[in-house]
A and B are shown apart, each in its own frame.
Chain A
Amino acid sequence: MKNSKTLIYDGSFNGFLTAVFIAFEEKVKVADIQKNGQTQNGLFSETETIFTNVVKAKRVWNGVRAKSYNAIGTIYFAFLSETDGIERLLFSYIQKLMVSKENKQVDFSDDTVLYISQLARKVGREKHRMEAFVRFQLTKDNIYFANIEPDFDVLPLISKHFRNRYADQQWLIYDVKRGYGIFYNLERVELVSLNLSEIHHNRTKKSAAFTTNEYDYQDLWNNYFKSTNIKSRINRKLHTQHVPKRYWKYLSEKKEAV
């Protein structure tokens, strides 16, 4: 009997797809697929380190897409959820997809399929929330800057949305939790990592990094937010359901509530 193996990859999506490729090609009995640096050896399994190979990753991508056009998107979204053990689940999801003659992606009576599609939907919701809750502040060197702290790693998913929308202004969205950001320089979007001296969330002290008008506009916006509220219909529960408290510290209209 062949020993089962734990595959170690570099944490990138391409790395994961390469691992899937190798598992399929070499008929590896996969015990687990783990991120480099977070490995836990199994008692009876060997480990193998996978070197990311874009060509091999692309073949998995295309193979899955040929099987079901929507499934590859679901896999990518679920991968970005960073859930513990997601690699193992996604591997068995891909196995199921490839084995099935029908479009297995919509078999919502299969536990793995349902779970993966629910995870993907969760990430999709977070992506949408970030498109809504990013609040840019104009810096003195004319960059619209925003800090975010999303539940999932959604920066790669929102970059297109912001590129299309703010094509004529420089902007930078920085994920404080994961320590990287995306910067648009009027030409294209680049990944950046910064040494932030301070995290710009809500506080009464004004930062010297931003233009003076910036605070006037925030003030106008906060006033608008208050005036447009109908007091006789107050429904705080619904309010916090739509704008969960964990996002408040980056929303200027909730400045007083934080």
Chain B
Amino acid sequence: MNFERIKEKLNILADAAKYDVSCSSSGSKRTNTNKGLGDSSGMGICHSYTEDGRCVSLLKILLTNHCIFDCAYCVTRKSNDVQRAAFKIQEVVDLTINFYRRNYIEGLFLSSGIFKSPDHTMERLIAVAKKLREEENFNGYIHLKSIPGCSDELMYEAGLYADRLSVNIEVPTVSGLKLLAPDKKHEDFTKPMLKVKNELLRYKNERKLIKSTPKYAPAGQSTQMIIGATGESDKDIMYSATHYYKNYNMKRVYYSGYVPVAEDSRLPSMDTQVPMLRENRLYQTDWLLRFYGFAVNEIINDEHPNLAMDVDPKLSWALRNMKHFPVDVNKADKRMLARIPGIGMRSVHKVIHARKFRKLNWEHLKKIGVALNRAKYFIVCDSRDWERKDLDVGKIKGMILQNSSGKFRKQHSTQLALFAN
């Protein structure tokens, strides 16, 4: 192996692949039964974290960054003047195996620029996965990117070797897509998704009858949207995310704040900040929808098409719906407990168990780990001491903001800095 040449390619092709956010390696249930290499049956593992704080769990690379398309938001688009490179199939296999054996990674995340045709590209991606599974006896995690516009037969084959498949929808609105990626049609994205969804359902049904049915993409499929490139509202994003969760059985929808990669009149300029706070709020909303039992129109609707930036979406919902509060933590059901700002699902679980033994007071709640600085305005417990003052919504919000500190607080403070630099 020529390490110098590989190093060059790795730098180019890892650099081009880093804008894909997904790095999950859990939920696969692929056990090591044949004394082979690797096991992805447990929880996912983040083996390291880069200096931007994102986890490194998979070897995330492109097979090549040659591309026939010219999508404005993408670094590897045809018209961009960057160094191009391509891996050979065997090189990717060797890298994956050697990194995996040293416990650097959980597996491979393989994507690619589109060369010649979507089908041709997809075939090469599948060839890598097939080689890893069949020749190297590899049971680690493999995430393959479905190439928009590739055929159903190839999507079927990909699922036989990969743990997860994903197509990035990238632009949440159809009109935005037309503007930024004129070569691609909306159907090119949804067709492979639909195929994977149908196959997943078919395999699930078959497994009910025949237990030894082979695996088809056991970790499901996911997608990703760029935030802040086309002036879409939070409502556009979250409604479209809900659509994909519901109609395509997505495991995850990822939100990726737009990182300016090139000067283009259709896009924000090169010196715009990455919208990290907005991204954070969208993920918080996503969690509320998937784990806390909220419906999307409770949090975002026509009246409130954008999320509040100064407070998190749950607190913001609670402040708009004071009629549900205060809640008695010793009596309320699980659903209502989960809606109290400052109480997460872990605390909900603990509260529900602990209150069987005795009535809980402030001291108990604090030790359990409830964030009382927020929660105290919304609950009563076994104590004569509670927030008695008839506070209005604005007051509560002000007091919470005053008595807490947030990592993004600087960005939306209205107060002038005394010593601005």
Q: How far is the CA of A182 from the CA of B286 in the complex (A)?
A: 42
Q: Pick out which of these stretches binds chain B: A49-57, A87-95, A149-157, A160-168.
A: A160-168
Q: A102-B357, A216-B3, A230-B54 are in contact. Are A135 and B15 (CB under 8 A)?
A: no
In the complex, what residues of B have CB within 8 A of residue A236's CB?
Answer: 51, 53
Quick check: which of A76-84, A108-116, A192-200 contacts chain B, the rest being far away?
A108-116
Quick check: is B60 within 8 A (CB to CB) of the other chain?
yes
Taking a contact as CB atoms under 8 Å apart, the answer to whether A229 and B18 are in contact is yes
Q: When the two chains form the complex, which single residue of A167, A169, A229 contacts B51, counting CB atoms closer than 8 Å?
A: A229
Contacts of A134 in B (CB 8 A): 103
What's the Cα separation between A220 and B360 when bound, in Å? 54
Chain B residues contacting A106 (CB-CB under 8 Å) are 350, 353-354, 356
Given contacts A225-B48, A239-B51, contact A109 B357 (CB under 8 A): yes
Chain A interfacial residues counted at CB < 8 A: 53
Closest Cβ of chain B to A144, distance in Å, is 6
B7 contacts A220, C-beta separation under 8 Å: yes
Partner-contacting stretch, out of B35-43, B76-84, B116-124: B35-43
Indicate if B358 sits at the interface (CB-CB under 8 A). yes
Q: With A106-B354, A169-B101, A228-B15 in contact, do A235 and B53 touch (Cβ < 8 Å)?
A: yes
Encoded as 1 (CB less than 8 Å from any A CB) or 0, chain B from 257 to 283 comes to 101100000000000001010000000
B192-226 interface (Cβ within 8 A of A): none
A107 interfacial contact with B, CB 8 Å: yes
Are the CB atoms of A109 and B354 closer together than 8 Å? yes
With A106-B353, A230-B18, A242-B55 as known contacts, state yes or no: A223 contacts B36, CB within 8 Å.
Answer: no
Q: Assess the B101–A228 pair: CB atoms within 8 A.
A: no
A168 to B10, CA, bound (A): 27
Whether the Cβ atoms of A128 and B45 lie closer than 8 Å is yes
Chain B proximity mask over A218-236: 1 for CB below 8 Å, otherwise 0: 0111011111111111111
* B57 closest partner in A (C-beta): A132
A21 at the interface (CB under 8 A from B): no
CB of A180 closer than 8 Å to a CB of B: no
Contact status B259-A227, CB under 8 Å:
no
B294 at interface by CB-CB < 8 Å:
no
Q: Does B32 make an interface contact (CB < 8 A)?
A: yes
A131 contacts B by Cβ under 8 Å: yes
A137–B102 alpha-carbon span in the complex (Å) = 6
Q: Would you call A228 and B360 a contact (CB within 8 A)?
A: no
Q: Could you say which residues of chain B place their CB within 8 Å of the CB of A228?
A: 14-15, 17-18, 50, 56, 60
Q: Does A251 contact B (CB under 8 A)?
A: yes
Tell me, rounded to whole Å, the shortest Cβ–Cβ distance linking A217 to chain B.
5
Interface residues of A (CB under 8 A from B): 102, 106-111, 114, 128, 131-138, 144, 146, 161, 164-169, 216-217, 219-221, 223-239, 241-243, 251, 253
Enumerate 19 A-B pairs (CB-CB under 8 Å) in ascending A order: A106-B354, A107-B354, A108-B351, A108-B353, A114-B367, A134-B103, A144-B101, A164-B39, A165-B38, A167-B35, A168-B137, A220-B99, A221-B102, A229-B50, A230-B19, A231-B52, A233-B53, A233-B274, A236-B51
20 further interface pairs, Cβ-Cβ under 8 Å (given A135-B104, A165-B37, A241-B53) = A132-B47, A138-B101, A161-B42, A167-B32, A168-B35, A169-B101, A220-B7, A221-B102, A223-B7, A225-B50, A227-B11, A227-B18, A228-B15, A228-B50, A229-B51, A230-B50, A235-B53, A237-B407, A243-B48, A251-B48
Nearest 4 pairs of A and B residues by beta carbon: A238-B53, A106-B353, A235-B53, A108-B354
